[in-house]
Amino acid sequence: MKGTQYQARQPDADGVIHYPEAEHQIWSELVARQLTWLPGRACNEYLQGLERLNLPQDRIPQLAEVDAVLMEATGWQTAQVPALISFQRFFELLADKRFPVATFIRSRDEFDYLQEPDIFHEIFGHCPLLTNPAFAHFTHTYGKLGLAATPQQRVYLARLYWFTVEFGLVHTPEGLRIYGGGILSSPGETKYALSDEPDHQDMAVLDALRTPYRIDIMQPHYFVLDSIESLFDIAKLDLMSLVSKAQQLGLHPAKFAPKHCVSE
């Protein structure tokens, strides 16, 4: 697992995390910028969840504020974690209906993009949809499957998570809309994902399990759900049998150039 320059901030004895004013300012600017991009691009379920969370725009929210809304809506809550956690811990938390949130925010040097999931990505990008029953159920099911999976199976499951929870699109009567948190927390990808540049494919779980991705580029390929309710249907599938079939068939050809670097 890669290292990171970031360290999660720890709460005081009362469970309150005290962020410096400069970090509150980064949160405020990130939220303000992204709110200008969401209308007509984010799906209604996300926008409804964002309204329900009622996140502060002038400061980083405390996790307890988010937990109160999620618990009432779907029985979920957040879990404070370090900047990086193991796959084992990740699946344990999801299986327990606890969404991991690293309590740090990106530096101004990485304002537009960072590879680590920071509190803006997790809270603003993902938590609004955790108020939605279909999304919450799918994420819980995914966590339970991942917890019981082998390391090799988890590699395939990670692709399904990537093309749904992180970078998923959905058909709506108004056209294509975004529900993936990796897109919704990125102004560049929010605009790009709905353009004519990338490929858009109706969701086929077996294909998603077999499709390579890179975390450091705009996605060349997105999978599109019929509706957010389709996540209930995906959760009912025998996903581990599909993982086994994907392992037998192997990966589709990558739609991007290989990453040239010394270490991963």
> Residue 199 corresponds to which tokens in the numbers above?
């490929």
Domain boundaries, the chain: 21-249
pLDDT of residue 262: 36
Query: Is pLDDT above 90 for 233?
Result: yes
Q: Is 166 a catalytic residue?
A: yes
Is residue 1 very low, low, confident or very high in pLDDT (cuts 50, 70, 90)? very low
Among the listed residues 45, 166, 186, 221, the single catalytic one is 166
Mean pLDDT, the chain, integer: 95
DSSP string, 9-69: PPP-TTS-----HHHHHHHHHHHHHHHTT-TTTB-HHHHHHHHHHT--SSSPPPHHHHHHH
Query: Is pLDDT above 60 for 264?
Result: no
Structure-token match 């999801």, residue found: 94
Type of residue at 45: E
Among the listed residues 45, 122, 126, 189, the single catalytic one is 126
What residues are designated binding site for Fe cation? 121, 126, 166
Closest C-alpha to 53, from 107, 106, 128: 128
Radius of gyration in angstroms for the set of CA atoms belonging to the chain, rounded to a whole number = 18
Among the listed residues 185, 186, 189, 221, the single catalytic one is 185
Q: Is 185 a catalytic residue?
A: yes
pLDDT of residue 258: 81
**Tens-place pLDDT, residues 137-184:** 999 999 999 999 999 999 999 999 999 999 999 999 999 999 999 999
Q: Are 211 and 252 in contact (CB under 8 A)?
A: yes
Q: Are 76 and 136 in contact (CB under 8 A)?
A: yes
**Tens-place pLDDT, residues 51-90:** 999 999 999 999 999 999 999 999 999 999 988 899 999 9
Q: Which architecture does CATH list for 21-249?
A: Orthogonal Bundle (1.10)
> Quick one: average pLDDT of 209-216?
95
pLDDT of residue 5: 86
Type of residue at 157: L
Other C-beta atoms within 10 Å of 10: how many? 10
Residues forming beta bridges with residue 81, ordered by sequence position = 102
**Tens-place pLDDT, residues 99-143:** 999 999 999 999 888 888 999 999 999 999 999 999 999 999 999
Q: Are 98 and 90 in contact (CB under 8 A)?
A: no
Among the listed residues 23, 45, 121, 140, the single catalytic one is 121
Whole-angstrom distance, CA of residue 157 vs CA of residue 241: 11
203 contacts: CB under 8 Å, gap ≥ 6? 163, 164, 223, 224, 225, 226, 230, 234
Segment holding 224, helix H or strand E: strand 221-225
What residues are designated binding site? 121, 126, 166
> Quick one: average pLDDT of 192-196?
97
